[in-house]
Amino acid sequence: MTMARSRRSPVTVPAVSTVPGAGARDGGARGAGVRPGGWTRTSLLGLEGLSAEELRVLLHRARAYTGGPDSVLEPEASAPLRGRFVATLFFEDSTRTRLSFAVAAQRLGAQVIDLAVASSSVNKGETITDTATNVNAMGVDAMVVRHRASGAAVIVDRAVGALADPARRRGPACTVVNAGDGRHEHPTQGLLDAYTIAEAHQRLETFDLSGLRVAIVGDVISSRVARSDIAALTALGAEVVCVGPPALVPPAIASLGCAVAHDLDAVLPGVDAVQVLRIQFERHDDGEARRPEGGGGAGGTGEARRTAASAREFRECFGLSEARAARMRPGAIVMHPGPINRGLEMDAAVADGPRSAVLRQVGHGVAIRMAVLELCIGARGPGA
Ligand code: CP
């Protein structure tokens, strides 16, 4: 295989910085922290920096919403967000995240308002912060934000937080939930992935993933999912190894707390779960990898372009084919955050095969988003 070897050294972790001093370290939330058995964060911007205890509070709450015997979903009576408004602001495309947040909010009794970005005043040049502060001024309780720029959710959270000033008759700041910002984080995806692995390996009682090994395969350098997965899975005790060509999985990715490998066939038989990432062609030329504030550069963009041109070689070395999946351990699962490039990073027979947990992931996404909305909005207090 000839592609994807970086010629620059050292390779640094690609651009993931958001706003200096905000967001990533503390999960980026106003009101950070957790009380015993409780949750005090009012926003969820990332998973990096969240404690295992905080993650477990969310996961246990989601478990109550999965429809099992202890489900609190069943009766109409359970609608903790009745009378609340959740706004969805998707400046970047989505199917799963957008709809599952809407389903989650409505199952909790909230009303959902969706900003149709394509026909909004964004087209007249309105900034994301002006858009967000105006939506907040309408009195919504939560804002779910997706944007192509890393750090967008942090910026929105700061903006609505800064403008909330009861003394000046401005309403309280709404909850902000990051639904995916550039290459930075996708926290609810990280949570639903952790949930899916816990379910597959009978860890739902504790959400302790110690002893489990998880491979994240493919376009890690472009992936906000990988960052949130690594943060959540390692905090919960799992070992994570990122696998792919050096241009997509540079050695510095290890600074996130995972191992790095370049031989999928050597790694696959030893893992309990594999998360296959979509090759994100659309991010390979977005310039984020070169942003100096992200410490990026290192040729990521150019290498990625070559990678895009080498899809066939990628598939040969790193695509999850039926033959490769057959060499996995009994009980090991195959995951993908979607959308899948079938026949590239994962074959259709694997995506739809017996090891696939892909639709389990999607289903868990609703319960996770219910937990996040309920707990973050609840942490704002009854008067907010
Ligand atoms: N996993 C995920 O974020 O999918 P969507 O882009 O469809 O929301």
Q: What is the DSSP string of 305-362?
A: HHHHTTHHHHHHHH-B-HHHHHTSPTT-EEE--S---BTTTB-HHHHTSTTB-HHHHH
Least confident residue range of 193-207, 264-278, 297-311: 297-311
Task: Tell me what the pLDDT averaged over the chain comes to.
Answer: 85
Q: How far, CA to CA in Å, does 258 sit from each of 16, 255, 261, 272?
A: 16, 7, 10, 15
Residues 6+ apart with CB under 8 A from 150: 15, 16, 17, 18, 181, 182, 183, 184, 224, 288, 294
Ligand 1 geometric centre to CA of 178 (Å): 12
Q: Which two tokens stand for residue 23?
A: 């967001």
Query: For the whole prediction, is pTM greater than 0.95?
Result: no
**Ligand 1 pocket member 97 (CB < 6 A):** yes
Ligand 1 geometric centre to CA of 308 (Å): 21
Write the pLDDT tens digit of every residue in 39-66: 999 999 999 999 999 999 999 999 999 8
Work out which ligand 1 atom sits closest to the CA atom of 179.
3
Judge whether residue 210 has pLDDT over 90. Answer: yes
pLDDT at 170: 64
Q: How many CA atoms lie within 13 A of 24 on its CB side?
A: 20
Give the phi and the psi of residue 126 in degrees, each rounded to 5: -65, 140
At 162, the pLDDT band (50, 70, 90 cuts) reads confident
Give the phi and the psi of residue 144 in degrees, each rounded to 5: -105, 120
**Long-range contacts at 336-340 (CB < 8 A, ≥ 24 apart):** 336/275, 336/276, 336/277, 336/278, 336/361, 337/96, 337/186, 337/189, 337/193, 337/225, 337/275, 337/277, 337/278, 337/361, 338/95, 338/96, 338/278, 338/362, 339/95, 339/278, 340/278
**Ligand 1 pocket member 94 (CB < 6 A):** yes
At 241, the pLDDT band (50, 70, 90 cuts) reads very high
**Ligand 1 pocket member 178 (CB < 6 A):** no
**Ligand 1 pocket member 180 (CB < 6 A):** yes
SS3 state at 62 = helix
Give the residue, out of 95, 341, 345, 364, with the most ligand 1 atoms within 8 A of its beta carbon, to mutate for a pocket test: 95
Q: Which two tokens stand for residue 39?
A: 């949750």
**Ligand 1 pocket member 365 (CB < 6 A):** no
Measured by CA distance, the residue closest to atom 4 of ligand 1 is 96
Judge whether residue 271 has pLDDT over 70. Answer: yes
pLDDT at 382: 73
Give the residue, out of 96, 101, 196, with the most ligand 1 atoms within 8 A of its beta carbon, to mutate for a pocket test: 96
pLDDT at 292: 29
Measured by CA distance, the residue closest to atom 6 of ligand 1 is 94
**Ligand 1 pocket member 182 (CB < 6 A):** no
**Sheet order of strands, 273-276 included:** 259-261, 239-243, 213-217, 273-276, 333-335
**Ligand 1 pocket member 96 (CB < 6 A):** yes
**Ligand 1 pocket member 275 (CB < 6 A):** no
